């Protein structure tokens, strides 16, 4: 390890920091790359060191995971949005400009990685030297290879006592097809090896190619709504130049806008006189809706524009759906407003009004996965001050009826009542990576979730990659938790959709005193119906307070009851003692109960507290959780 | 650990009342409650504002308490004027019998001197069976007391043990007999039912003991596991099972049936009086709490009510005595009840009593609820037809639910 653990000398820092400040850099001196990795392997921390080493962020302005700019990212310690930044770097006496994109590691946000890749020629594939290759390492590597990017394999966290750089260098080399000695070793924490890594990035990653004299073409790879500035669009220029005060055209829609501002990020937005071939930056047109500045679209100039658009991306498609309802029904307009606002920055979020007999007015929302759901709900609750109930997540089904018609079902309540010929459900290709001692446990779990083993490979002597086809519905709920607990936290999971399959599915209804509660209906496999029914009935018996009458709880498929429980009638509801001192207390208690009653939902004659809905629908407390962890 | 006081607004340091509250004083029965905050030991279930000598550590004594109580009675006389002499007195605790009969008689004398005592006043003291004697009762009776209330709780040795009671199983009934022999017509025994380990047989045996003792009044309370008590800790640790509501309901029915056969009738959810003894067997003082009477609570942590104003004293005996020594009110806070609050309290309290609540005080929607409750067997349909909401026995067991419906 060389001298680069030391901060670069002042002179070099000064010289470098001005070089990237001016745009229209010659393409040979530009390197565009992103950092990709499994979640938590240290991408954002590595980016921190690069920001410091290049002098773009001064030491005293530094904070951990500098590019995780959203509150929710900082709180959860994960990256959700990809972030780009322009850096200067000198190699062998020659100044260069680097455009770095830090990406999220969680599978729900893979689409952020895909768009980032399209703006780059190279990718740093980062692997935690104490963990080795994990499921999203592979997933992101394959994505990068599909984009023909130059891959620089890097082991991170070599400062950790538990790091096994030799072992994992071999693993990486094996997967990528390089020599273990080609694998760089860094510590994003101490900065060790980061300078060499930047040097290598300049040497190995090819510069962008593009025609300076051709009509301008730029690819939109991100589009963000900012309250003060309107929509900020991030672009990578492929051909020509993009200059402020010109008029541009969105090639997919033909809409034209005036460019109010063009700039670069280093690390805050800075206006510049324009962007040339290979350069990454932002532009502002004054549009207020991100959908008018769509990710994947090509920008050209209005006059003498390009004829052919660049290849776009697939739009992110919701994988799971759930109903979101305000606990207090009168908050419905606020919820709509909050969703409208959130969607400005989240093209993957979809929503549509729906009504539930049990929960009132709400929205059926589409999400990329459970983390996306959780984060969206969290943000709605915090940023808009709302109290929300989310129904159990479900996938999209295609149902063919006997009369030949077909229906797409995103809500169990819309399950067709007619004679069903065939049902199709989405399936996924899953990758599980774990130490080989857990293979049996993993296979058992996947089997119980209707999984099909597609293959198994040894990454090294002791670590295995298992490939399964699993119904999406089986993995969105508590699969990951179960997997973690069965493997003492060692397994990692990645999945991607891979079409659909015909399955024997049924709709299980839950009835309170004979009345179905729509919010509790679920589509499950025939063999899992009984388990779902009993689990819900038992849960509800515990959650619903006893009422004046006996309340039967039933789980049913159509008219066939498959499980039942009873909430016995309450026999005593009176405070025995009541004299002088207790009166004020008792009145206050009564007032509190009255408030509580407002939060009750009536299902027929049965009073169901909101908390019962929340608890019955939560994924928490799955029996596997915590078990097996030390 | 004693329970906490409510939040309220501050009280003027001279303890004066708003004129609206005072203007109707005298139109309602007027009681004085005297709180004696001392016990020899603390029972595991009890969260009353009471202190053992160990807990007080010399910070307050029965003497300093008595001096302060006398001052508070003088304050009461100043604040209230002489609008009405006292109809009922109730000395409770804590353990009033720890003070001894002479002190208790002395306290009654102060009440007579400051506020005046009606000639037919009901004067009750609570007493713990182990700190009584024939002499004790004789002195009280001669000194003007008319009623005693004894904490029996149970006749079963193992139940008394779980409750940390100090007396032997037979002692409470013996005390009651001594009180009767000393000339007390009105004697109450307190029972607690549903204690972990108590069986139906244990309860029946306790009831037999009560009936045989020849008392004219019984209070029976379902055991409440109060937060912060030793009992609550034992339940939380799993050393004792929590009382089960279904069992409590069954015990209540058993109790009500058994007492009924012995000639007792309920007149409040947890109180029964011997029917043959006439209306005088019911505790007039406690009825005042439930039917909107006025009362002044003397002593640490005592609550008061006069004309729609409720207030409560500071809890600690040392602070209580300190404030009164400085010539200030011992009140910690108060609330002036809005009309709506007063209605809620009326429903809450009067519904617990056998005469029930006149339905004309209810809003239209609440009257419809009352009709519904009657059809569901919670209110007596006949009484309702004559304009009163009166709980049936099932209704008594579900009274809080009925109240919620009538005030919604
Ligand atoms: N010891 C040590 N810890 C590191 C190193 N790099 C990162 N970490 C820690 O690893 C954790 C995850 O780091 P991040 O930089 O947030 O990881 P990430 O890959 O950006 O995570 P996502 O964006 O959520 O996928 C943090 O607690 C870091 O402090 C390193 O080189 N050594
Ligand atoms: C004000 S207390 C104190 C009386 C007296 N010190 C005694 O213990 O006999 C009056 C009665 O309230 C009842 N009581 C006290 N705490 C209770 C609890 N936690 N649950 C049920 N009843 C209780 C007991 O029956 C007790 O006799
Ligand atoms: S003797 Fe009475 S007041 Fe004292 S602790 Fe026991 S129950 Fe409470
Ligand atoms: Mg990150």
3-state secondary structure B222-259: ECCCCCCCHHHHHHHHCCCCCCCHHHHHHHHHHHHHHH
Q: Which residues of chain B neighbour A568 with C-beta distances below 8 Å?
A: 246
- CA-CA-CA-CA dihedral for A588, A590, A592, A595, to nearest 10: -140
| Distance, CA of B408 to CA of B406 (rounded, Å) | 6
Q: Which residues of chain A neighbour B290 with C-beta distances below 8 Å?
A: 578
Percent of all residues in chain B with a pLDDT value above 90, rounded to a whole number: 95
- Mutate which of A5, A44, A372 to test ligand 1's pocket (most atoms within 8 Å of Cβ)? A44
Judged by CB atoms closer than 8 Å, whether chains meet at B295 and A580 is answered as yes
Where along chain B do its domains lie? 19-290, 340-408
3-class secondary-structure state, position A559: coil
Q: State in Å: Cα B127 to ligand 2 middle.
A: 11
pLDDT of residue A619: 57
- CA-CA-CA-CA dihedral for B363, B368, B370, B376, to nearest 10: -160
Dihedral sign from CA coordinates of A174, A113, A106, A283: positive
Min Cα distance A610 → chain B (Å) is 19
pLDDT of residue A431: 95
Per-residue DSSP letter, A226: E
| Distance, CA of A584 to CA of B405 (rounded, Å) | 19
Tokens matching residue A557: 């498929």
pLDDT band of residue B384 (cuts 50, 70, 90) is very high
Residue A450: CA count within 13 A, CB half-sphere:
20
| Distance, CA of A34 to CA of B29 (rounded, Å) | 85
Tokens matching residue B273: 């009086």
Residue nearest to atom 23 of ligand 1 (CA): A79
Averaged over B207-235, what is the pLDDT?
Answer: 96
What residue ranges line ligand 2, CB within 6 angstroms? A 576-577; B 45-46, 48, 92-95, 126, 128, 151, 153, 190, 192, 221, 223-224, 226
3-class secondary-structure state, position A99: strand
Q: Which helix (H) or strand (E) holds B126?
A: strand B117-127
Measured from the Cα of A39, ligand 1's closest atom is: 25
Assess A595–B contact: CB distance below 8 Å, yes or no: no
| Distance, CA of A571 to CA of B252 (rounded, Å) | 11
**φ/ψ (deg, to 5) at A132:** 80, -170
pLDDT of residue A1: 38
Judged by CB atoms closer than 8 Å, whether chains meet at B407 and A571 is answered as no
pLDDT digits (tens, 9 = 90+) for A97-137: 999 999 999 988 988 898 899 899 999 999 999 999 999 99
Q: Which helix (H) or strand (E) holds A144?
A: helix A135-146
Ligand 3 binding pocket includes B151 (Cβ within 6 Å)? yes
Judged by CB atoms closer than 8 Å, whether chains meet at B270 and A590 is answered as no
pLDDT digits (tens, 9 = 90+) for B231-283: 999 999 999 999 999 999 999 999 999 999 999 999 999 999 999 999 999 99
pLDDT of residue A164: 95
Average confidence score pLDDT of chain B: 95
Q: State in Å: Cα B203 to ligand 3 middle.
A: 20
Judged by CB atoms closer than 8 Å, whether chains meet at A576 and B222 is answered as yes
Q: State in Å: Cα B199 to ligand 2 middle.
A: 20
Give the residue ranges of chain A where pLDDT is below 50: 1-11, 14-15, 620-630
Judged by CB atoms closer than 8 Å, whether chains meet at B398 and A590 is answered as no
B333 upstream amide cis, omega within 30 of 0: no
Whats the size of chain B, residue-wise?
408
Averaged over B274-297, what is the pLDDT?
Answer: 96
ipTM surpasses 0.90: no
Averaged over B203-232, what is the pLDDT?
Answer: 96
| Distance, CA of A513 to CA of B148 (rounded, Å) | 51
Judged by CB atoms closer than 8 Å, whether chains meet at B6 and A584 is answered as yes
Its pTM stands at: 0.71
| Distance, CA of B62 to CA of B321 (rounded, Å) | 11
Residue A325: CA count within 13 A, CB half-sphere:
24
Judged by CB atoms closer than 8 Å, whether chains meet at A583 and B270 is answered as no
Q: Which helix (H) or strand (E) holds A176?
A: helix A165-176
For chain B, how big is the Rg over CA atoms in Å? 21
User: Could you tell me which of A283, A263, A279 has the C-alpha nearest to residue A271?
Assistant: A263
| Distance, CA of A555 to CA of A537 (rounded, Å) | 7
pLDDT of residue A628: 29
Tokens matching residue B20: 């609206």
Whats the size of chain A, residue-wise?
630
**Which residues, numbered 474 to 503 in chain A, qualify as contacts with chain B under a Cβ-Cβ cut-off of 8 Å?**
none
pLDDT of residue B34: 98
| Distance, CA of A376 to CA of A391 (rounded, Å) | 14
**Which residues, numbered 28 to 57 in chain A, qualify as contacts with chain B under a Cβ-Cβ cut-off of 8 Å?**
none
| Distance, CA of A67 to CA of A551 (rounded, Å) | 54
| Distance, CA of A623 to CA of A625 (rounded, Å) | 6
Instruction: Kindly report the CATH class assigned to B19-290.
Output: alpha beta
| Distance, CA of A340 to CA of A377 (rounded, Å) | 13
- DSSP bridge partners of A433: A465, A492
Tokens matching residue B244: 């089960």
Strands A30-37 and A94-102: parallel
Min Cα distance A568 → chain B (Å) is 10
- DSSP bridge partners of B93: B36
Under 8 Å between Cβ of B132 and B173? no
Min Cα distance B4 → chain A (Å) is 10
For A38, A135, A431, A464, B408, the CA distances from A446, given in Å and listed in that order, are 22, 16, 11, 15, 52
Ligand 3 binding pocket includes B38 (Cβ within 6 Å)? no
Q: Which residues of chain B neighbour A581 with C-beta distances below 8 Å?
A: 297, 301-303, 312
């Amino acid at each position: 390890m060389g001298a680069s653990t030391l901060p670069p000398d002042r002179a070099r820092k000064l010289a470098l920091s001005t070089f990237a400040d001016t745009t229209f850099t010659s393409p040979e001196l530009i390197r565009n790359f992103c950092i990709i990795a499994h979640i938590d392997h240290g991408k954002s921390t590595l980016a921190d060191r690069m920001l410091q080493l290049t002098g773009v962020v001064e030491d005293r302005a530094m904070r951990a995971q500098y590019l995780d700019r959203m509150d929710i990212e900082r709180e959860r310690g994960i990256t959700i949005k990809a972030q780009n930044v322009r850096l200067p770097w000198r190699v062998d006496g020659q100044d260069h400009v680097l455009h770095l994109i830090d990406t999220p590691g969680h599978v729900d946000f893979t689409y952020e990685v895909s768009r980032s890749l399209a703006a780059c020629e190279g990718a740093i594939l980062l692997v935690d030297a104490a963990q080795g290759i994990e499921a999203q390492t592979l997933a992101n590597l394959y994505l990068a290879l599909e984009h023909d990017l130059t891959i620089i394999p890097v082991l991170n966290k070599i400062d950790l006592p538990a790091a096994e750089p030799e072992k994992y260098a071999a693993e990486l080399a094996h997967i990528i097809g390089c020599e273990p000695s080609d694998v760089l070793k860094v510590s994003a924490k101490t900065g060790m090896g980061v300078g060499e890594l930047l040097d290598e990035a300049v040497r190995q990653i090819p510069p962008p190619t593009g025609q300076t004299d051709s009509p301008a073409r730029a690819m939109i790879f991100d589009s963000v709504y900012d309250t003060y500035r309107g929509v900020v669009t991030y672009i990578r220029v492929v051909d020509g130049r993009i200059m402020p005060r010109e008029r541009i055209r969105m090639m997919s829609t033909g809409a034209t806008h005036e460019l109010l501002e063009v700039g670069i990020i280093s690390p805050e937005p800075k206006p510049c006189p324009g962007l040339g071939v290979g350069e990454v930056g932002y532009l502002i047109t004054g549009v207020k809706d991100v959908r008018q500045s769509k990710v994947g679209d090509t920008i050209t100039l209005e006059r003498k524009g390009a004829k052919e658009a660049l290849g776009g991306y697939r739009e992110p498609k919701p994988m799971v759906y759930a109903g979101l309802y305000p606990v207090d029904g009168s908050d419905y307009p606020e919820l709509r407003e909050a969703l409208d606002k959130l969607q400005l920055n989240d093209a993957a979020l979809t929503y549509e009004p729906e009504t539930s007999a049990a929960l009132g007015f709400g929205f059926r929302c589409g999400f990329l996965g459970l983390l996306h759901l959780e984060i969206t709900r969290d943000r709605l609750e915090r940023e808009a001050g709302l109290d929300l109930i989310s129904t159990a997540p479900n996938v999209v089904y295609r149902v063919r009826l006997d009369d030949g018609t077909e229906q797409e079902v995103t809500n169990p309540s819309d399950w067709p009542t007619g004679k069903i010929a065939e049902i199709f459900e989405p399936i996924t290709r899953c990758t599980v990576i774990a130490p080989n001692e857990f293979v049996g446990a993993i296979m058992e779990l996947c089997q119980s979730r209707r999984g099909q083993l597609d293959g198994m490979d040894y990454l090294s002597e002791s670590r295995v990659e298992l490939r399964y086809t699993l119904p999406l519905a089986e993995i969105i709920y508590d699969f990951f938790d179960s997997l973690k607990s069965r493997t003492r936290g060692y397994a990692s999971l990645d999945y991607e959709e891979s079409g659909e399959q015909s399955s024997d599915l049924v709709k299980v209804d839950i009835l309170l005193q004979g009345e179905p509660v729509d919010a509790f209906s679920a589509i499950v496999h025939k063999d899992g119906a009984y388990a779902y029914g009993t689990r819900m009935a038992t849960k509800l018996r515990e959650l619903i307070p006893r009422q004046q009458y006996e309340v039967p709880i039933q789980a049913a498929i159509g008219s066939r009851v498959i499980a039942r429980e009873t909430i016995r009638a309450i026999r005593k509801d009176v405070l025995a003692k009541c004299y002088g001192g207790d009166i004020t207390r008792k009145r206050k208690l009564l007032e509190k109960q009255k408030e509580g009653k407002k939060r009750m939902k009536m299902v027929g004659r049965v009073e169901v507290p909101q908390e019962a809905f929340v608890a019955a629908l939560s994924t928490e407390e799955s029996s596997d959780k915590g078990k097996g962890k030390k | 650990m004693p329970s906490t006081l409510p939040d309220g607004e501050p009280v003027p340091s001279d303890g004066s009342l708003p004129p609206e509250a005072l203007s109707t004083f005298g139109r309602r029965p007027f009681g004085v409650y005297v709180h004696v905050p001392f016990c020899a030991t603390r029972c595991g279930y009890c969260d009353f504002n009471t202190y053992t000598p160990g807990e007080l550590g010399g910070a307050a004594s029965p003497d300093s308490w008595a001096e302060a109580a006398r001052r508070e009675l003088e304050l009461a006389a100043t604040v209230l004027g002489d609008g009405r002499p006292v109809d009922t007195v109730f000395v409770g605790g804590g353990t009033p019998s720890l003070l001894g009969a002479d002190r208790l008689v002395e306290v009654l004398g102060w009440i007579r001197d400051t506020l005046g005592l009606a000639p037919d006043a009901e004067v009750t003291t609570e007493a713990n069976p182990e700190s009584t004697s024939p002499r004790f009762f004789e002195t009280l009776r001669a000194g003007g007391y008319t009623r005693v209330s004894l904490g029996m709780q149970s006749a079963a040795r193992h139940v008394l043990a779980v409750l940390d009671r100090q007396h032997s199983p037979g002692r409470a009934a013996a005390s009651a007999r001594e009180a009767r022999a000393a000339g007390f017509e009105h004697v109450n025994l307190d029972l607690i039912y549903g204690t972990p380990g108590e069986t139906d047989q244990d309860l029946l045996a306790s009831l037999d003991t009560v009936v045989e003792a020849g008392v004219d009044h019984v209070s029976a309370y379902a055991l409440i596991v109060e937060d912060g008590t030793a009992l609550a800790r034992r339940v939380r640790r799993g050393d004792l099972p929590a009382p089960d509501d279904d069992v409590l309901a069954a015990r209540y029915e058993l109790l009500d049936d058994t007492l009924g056969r012995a000639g007792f009738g309920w007149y409040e959810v947890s109180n029964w009086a011997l029917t043959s003894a006439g209306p005088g067997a019911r505790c007039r003082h406690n009825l005042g709490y439930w039917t909107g009477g006025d009362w002044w609570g003397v002593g640490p942590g005592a609550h008061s009510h006069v004309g729609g104003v409720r207030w409560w004293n500071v809890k600690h005996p040392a602070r209580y005595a300190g404030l009164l020594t400085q010539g200030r009110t011992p009140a910690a806070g108060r609330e002036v009840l809005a009309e709506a609050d007063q209605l809620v309290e009326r429903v809450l309290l009067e519904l617990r009593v056998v005469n029930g609540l006149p339905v004309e005080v209810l809003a239209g929607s609440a009257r419809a609820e009352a009709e519904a409750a009657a059809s569901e067997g919670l209110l007596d349909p006949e009484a309702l037809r004559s304009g009163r909401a009166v709980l049936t026995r099932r209704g008594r067991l579900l009274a809080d639910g009925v109240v919620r419906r009538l005030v919604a």
